[in-house]
């Protein structure tokens, strides 16, 4: 059975990847397009990692970590809609992925 918290994490990642892809399609600035593309690659890497962990055991710590990701998800969504400089986008994605990475690391160690 799939881990519900990891499915939630995966859905968050896919949503952010989709939002960035949509932003990339309307961006005319080559520097912003390059930054968006790089951040999409970073998120796609986490999507693959999360997909590989979907059947890991659950824990209260993992649930709390995924809850933190959901909070960061909202902040990243707002940043994607409002950024004007590549640095702003990179900082927002990095903050979000910090929470994602903690959740992934927890999922890797549950049951060990």
What tens digit of pLDDT does each residue of 25-79 get?
Answer: 999 999 999 999 999 999 999 999 999 999 999 999 999 999 999 999 999 999 9
What's the pLDDT score for residue 111? 61
Task: Encode burial over 15-44: b for 16+ CB neighbours within 10 A, e otherwise.
Answer: ebbebbeebbeebeeeebbebbeebbebbe
Write down the domain spans for the chain.
4-109
What's the pLDDT score for residue 110? 85
pTM for the complete prediction? Answer: 0.95
pLDDT at 17 over 70: yes
**Does residue 75 contact residue 100 with C-beta atoms inside 8 Å?**
no
What length does the chain have?
A: 112
Distance from C-alpha of 96 to C-alpha of 79, rounded to nearest angstrom: 11
Helix (H, G, I), strand (E, B) or coil at 22: helix
Q: Which of 110, 20, 112 is nearest to 65 (CA)?
A: 110
Q: What's the mean per-residue pLDDT of the chain? A: 96
């Amino acid at each position: 059975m799939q881990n519900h918290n990891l499915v939630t994490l995966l859905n968050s990642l896919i949503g952010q990847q989709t939002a960035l892809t949509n932003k990339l399609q309307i961006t005319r600035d080559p520097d912003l397009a390059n930054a968006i593309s790089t951040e999409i690659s970073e998120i796609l890497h986490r999507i693959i990692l999360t997909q590989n962990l979907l059947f890991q055991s659950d824990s209260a710590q993992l649930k709390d970590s995924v809850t933190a990701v959901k909070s960061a998800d909202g902040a990243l969504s707002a940043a994607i809609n409002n950024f004007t400089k590549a640095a702003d986008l990179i900082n927002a994605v990095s903050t979000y992925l910090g929470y994602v990475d903690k959740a992934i690391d927890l999922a890797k160690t549950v049951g060990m």
